[in-house]
A and B are shown apart, each in its own frame.
Chain A
Amino acid sequence: GAVVSQHPSRVICKSGTSVKIECRSLDFQATTMFWYRQFPKQSLMLMATSNEGSKATYEQGVEKDKFLINHASLTLSTLTVTSAHPEDSSFYICSARVLGLGDTQYFGPGTRLTVL
């Protein structure tokens, strides 16, 4: 149980385009999902907390107009990187909070974004 999927697993796009990444909880409902960014050989940095039906809460220094987060249902959150630039290239990982199972975050497999 507690499986989280992400799509796509890899994406390459041109500078200036927008990219949407999906995060789904497959076998449970997640009222809260989290988006992280991970640079090579570094730890995970929380970008934002996404609550179903409400606006996301962004961490300090994260541009909310650049990283659009939508959590329209209890099983789906999306991260859209708008007007992507090469410096946005990174590994993006989502997690979903599981209530009633020790209140733990379960992570998706990640999405590798490369902006040319």
Chain B
Amino acid sequence: GNSVTQMEGPVTLSEEAFLTINCTYTATGYPSLFWYVQYPGEGLQLLLKATKADDKGSNKGFEATYRKETTSFHLEKGSVQVSDSAVYFCALSTYQGAQKLVFGQGTRLTINP
């Protein structure tokens, strides 16, 4: 079946550090890949997405590239801020039937000033 595996957290970094959160997936067909973010006290919101191999999704300084050969979609940011502290979820959708998302377990990120 379809599944997503994220690097385990929590992750704690200092402001302006480089961030990588690893995400790998298993899927039949050609999934679309997503990163969702959940800020404290808020609902999940889409951070970025990529719908086909080699696509790069980007938003708010975050980037992730759809790597079909390594079945990965790692999230990166060159210089994190305190306001990036949140829980990050990698997810996939195969658009088979429903627009269902299969999520990873989430990675809690804390940025210290």
* A, B assembled together: no
